[in-house]
Amino acid sequence: MNAIGPMKTALLIDESRKIFKVSRQAFVDPAILELERAQIFDKCWLYLGHSSELAKPGDFVTRSVGGRNILFARDGKGNLKAMLNTCPHRGAQVCREKHGSAKSFQCFYHGWVFGLDGTLRSQPGEASYAEDFKERSTSSMQQVPRFDSYRDLNFICFDKNVESLSDYLGPVREYLDLICDQAETEMTIVGGTQEYSMRANWKLLTENSIDGYHALTTHATYLDYLKATTGGLAQVGFAGSARDLGKGHAVLEYKAPWGRPVAQWIPSWGEEGKRELSRLYDGLITRFGQERADRIATFNRNLFIFPNLVINDIMAVTVRTYYPAAPDFMNISAWALAPKEETEWARKYRLFNFLEFLGPGGFATPDDVEALEQCQRGFRNSSEAQWNDISKGMGKEDPSYDDEAQMRAFWSNWNEHIFQVPA
């Protein structure tokens, strides 16, 4: 059994007694947050954005990733670039807009001009600089140390020695394929970014995002609404499994009572919806065969990619990241993802589902915010009430979607990163 003592691990584990507990100090201690920034966010692959956000050359977005300001742009040749949004001259942020399209980027401080790939093009008083000044790598905007993508999902890492993205994702790729294969052509981000915050530790949202156990209680209002309006509960019940995907990644895969605009019909969608979803389902069978078509169409997935990316392929597809601003405060960004070629009918109900349940004003998110903020308030008693218990389903060969094996996967990897000690 592990012991906290002077904190050398956050976990209390006893396999024989099926005990797996997490110290609540991990949710409140500023020193832990500093370790997380150094050992996790500085060293792991982090999600940057989807290729569809930069549809044409010159398109760009700026966002904060792992505590850095990043400029994500498509250059004149159509290549994606991820740059530190910092002028090499005096350090000013070069691009001050959240998104847009440009032919170049100009630092407003001294007027240095950079190409879409970050290369220095010109600066006032050029004659006063060395002849080869523009050719020096230090005169251009700095690229992030590592940049790679999988299925149009783009990631960066600030550790140049990190393993390849493909190796890092490993078995996660199977589930990303199931999500992305919903589209005949390609997936696309629909609309812009939803941004909100929560007065809770970031790891609580990790747990909650892959927690099937809380659905029936925390989201009882939504399930009552489904029963009253869609007939969905009479069609399909909750059933499925959890899987540890290694390296802190995990997934829930399960059936659920809501409609899925991939190809799971519910009565409230009427005959038009039935025809549309039959067409989509037939297309999946043609492309992938019956077994894979059923898995894509009728199974939901809550996919977690360590340390802070969640892709919920449920009644709609949402991509979500979240970063700590303090031990008890996080900032969250979310995007809706959909097949680019889907019909007006499918897009309408996909976005309706996204807003109804997944969005900041939907049924789910306010419930979750309240629950996680209540947890953070409860952690004020962590000196005396020291442990969270996540032992549900421990020892099972085939954990259920509402067990906690997936959380144990996250915490074991987290603990190894922070304390350099395997669970």
Q: Which band of pLDDT confidence, cut at 50, 70 and 90, is reported for residue 391?
A: very high
Residues 276, 201 share a domain: yes
Of 33 and 192, the structure prediction assigns the larger pLDDT to 33
What pLDDT, on a 0 to 100 scale, did the predictor assign at position 177? 98
Residue 323 located in a structural domain:
yes
Whether this model's pTM surpasses 0.75: yes
Backbone angles phi, psi at 347, to 5 degrees: -65, -40
User: Domain residues for 196?
Assistant: 181-419
Stretch 117-133: mean pLDDT, rounded?
Answer: 96
Rg value, the chain, Cα: 23
The domain that holds 117 is classified in CATH as 2.102.10.10
- Please answer whether residues 310 and 176 qualify as being in contact, where contact means their C-beta atoms are separated by less than 8 angstroms: no
89 and 227 share a domain?
Answer: no
The residues with which 317 forms a beta bridge, in sequence order, are: 313, 337
**Strands ordered across the beta sheet of 249-255:** 187-198, 329-339, 317-326, 309-313, 300-305, 249-255, 239-246
User: Does residue 38 lie in a domain region?
Assistant: no
pLDDT tens digits for range 196-209: 999 999 999 999 99
96 and 198 both lie in a single domain: no
Query: In terms of domains, do 285 and 332 share one?
Result: yes
CATH of the domain at 409: 3.90.380.10
- Please check whether residue 240 lies inside any domain of the structure: yes
For the record, the structure tokens of 359 come out as 């969005």
Domain match, 341 and 194 both: yes
Given this model, what pLDDT does residue 260 score?
Answer: 87
Question: Quick one: 194 and 61 in the same domain?
Answer: no
- Claim to verify: residue 77 and residue 224 sit in the same structural domain: no
Residues 137 and 191 in one domain: no
pLDDT at residue 2 is higher than 60: no
pLDDT of residue 231: 52
What would the mean pLDDT of 109-116 be, rounded to a whole number?
98
Of 91, 115, 143, the last residue of a domain is 143
Per residue in 148-189, pLDDT (tens digit) is 999 999 999 999 999 999 999 999 999 999 999 999 999 999
pLDDT tens, residue by residue, 47-73:
999 999 999 999 999 999 999 999 999
Residue 265 and residue 396 share a domain: yes
Q: What per-residue confidence (pLDDT) applies to 41?
A: 98
Question: What percent of the chain lies above the pLDDT cut of 70?
Answer: 96
Lowest mean pLDDT among 180-184, 267-271, 335-339, 394-398: 267-271
Describe the chain by its helix, strand, coil percentages, rounded to 5: 35, 30, 35
**Residue 309 clears pLDDT 70, i.e. is over it:** yes
Task: Check pLDDT > 60 for residue 232.
Answer: no
- The reported pLDDT for the residue numbered 267 is 85
Whether residue 45 is predicted with pLDDT greater than 90 in this model: the reply is: yes
Q: Is 169 exposed, middle or buried (0-12, 13-18, 19+ CB in 10 A)?
A: buried
